Every structure is written in C-alpha cells, then in structure tokens.
Structure 1
C-alpha cells in the first residue's frame, strides 16, 4: 500500500519556520503478487508444443517387387565388431562370387562413405545421377550404432533411395 510518512518533529531556528517535508513510500508487494498470479495463470492455460508426426511412405502391399537394376544397386552388410561388407547387387537371393564381396570400415577417407561416393560418380557418368539404391542388411550380431553410422553416411552423401532388408542366410554366414 502506498503511504505517507510524516515526521512531526520540527526544530525551530530563531523564528524561521520550515515547511514539513513529507516522504512517500510505495509498497510493491501487491504488484509482485499480481505478477506471480499472472505468470501462473499463463503457464497453466497455455498450450505446449504439439507433437508432430512424420509421414512414413510405405510401399504398396500388392506383393509385387519393384524392378531394380544391379548396376544401380549397392548392397551393404552390417556385421559384428563394426565390420562392413558390400557388393553390387539388386538384392536377389543369388550369392555373388566371393571375390565380388569387399570389406570396408566407417573410416572417413576410405570407408563406406567413399564407396558410396564412387558409386554415385559412376552412375552420374552413365547418365543416371541420383539413381543409387542402397540395400542395407544388418546381421543379427550388428549393433544399432552400426545402422545409425551408416544412415549418417547416407545422409551426408545425399542418397535418396535406401532400404533395410533382411539378411540372407548365406550373407549372415559371411561374418562367421
């Protein structure tokens, strides 16, 4: 509350009369209370950020497979202990020759990212830029970190088409 403090003591000095000086004091307690009430009101009545849903496009469930050229596909096998193997194939269940399967790592200069970039350059030279289809097949002994690291490389190299697939039995034996 606002109040007036009055001082009733006056000193007299030889006939000169001084006027009383009044001091004002404003009590800010009600204003602080009102501020906290308003903050509480707006915190309780506001709407928080609504969760957003990402649209997931699923393939048609008619059972037909999309035709994929072996020259535009790169199959990546994720194995245990951060091991990666890759070969050029369109995901058919026929095993390539053992000399066609190569090992690589997650290294920055000579790893799987470099393999993806080379494949993209070959497709661009052949007149098919952006047509690379990456088939990712994690083994049961691979870790989640391996899949995330590979998806990071996919994002860095701007691969727009990729798919996770089940690993074939002959591919799983490659890592044993």
Structure 2
C-alpha cells in the first residue's frame, strides 16, 4: 500500500480549481463558437435590415463573454474563493493522508475518512500541480503533486487508475 500525506495550501486549491475549470472552458468555448458562427451566418444571410453597428456590438459582447469571463475567473475569482475556503473551513486545512493500492483508494483526516474501489472513480485528470480524482462529474478529490515523494510514486497511482479502467478524459463518463 502506498501512502502520502499533505496539508492543503492555497495554491493547491487554486491549481485544482483551474484544472477543473479548464475542462469546462473547452466545452463552453466550443458551444459559444457554434453560437457565434450561427449568428454570423444568420446576419450575413439577411437580405435587408443589416446593421453593421448592431452586429459589431453583438459580436463584441459575445467575444467578451467567451474570452474575458474565463480569464477573470481563472486569475481573480478562483484565487479569491480559494483564500475564503481555506480561511473559513478549518477541516480543509487538516493534515490529510491518502493511501492506495492496486484496487482501493482511501483518504483520512481528523474529521473525515473515506475508502472506495479505484474502479469506482468516474475519471481522473492531472497536470504538473495536482491530480483530480472524480467521484462524479462535479465532485472530485484532489491530491497536490508536491505530496508525492517522487515521480514513480505519482506514476504508481496513475498506473492503478489506468489498470482499473478509469478514464482520464473529460467529462467523466
């Protein structure tokens, strides 16, 4: 059985939220791109009543929503919410132990404890800062990469996830 221990820091929580948000942004951008293309096609297909100013304003507003809101969220809202969460939730700051073997994962702290088969995770995602273990589409546990003693230990968790058929694709299926 492998075991790591960590305490959540603000940058861990920010990294987890940013990785989670990235999956949602891709889908959101694709949907908004389709809406923009459909809107522009409709405008250019109109024979009369075409107003370039109104179209430019509408297109600019859509662009602002598509680009500026995710950027605002990523660099202002997520860090702000992470600071508030750590300030107000003492349980989040507790030392945490995460254990896994080839079939089971468990996490424990002073106030919480859970164990589940690795195959029951809906999906996993990882970047250089954090690993997200999804229990459902919008519910996940996160493990800071800094908690692993070395790359081989981190890879053993990923290998266990893959061996149990847990997908690393978003959204979880």
Give the shorter-chain TM-score range.
Answer: under 0.3
TM-score, normalization by structure 2: 0.26
Q: Please identify which structure carries the higher helix content.
A: 2
Larger Rg: 1
Q: Which has the higher contact order (CA 8 A, sep 6+)?
A: 2
Q: Scaled by the length of structure 1, what TM-score is found?
A: 0.26
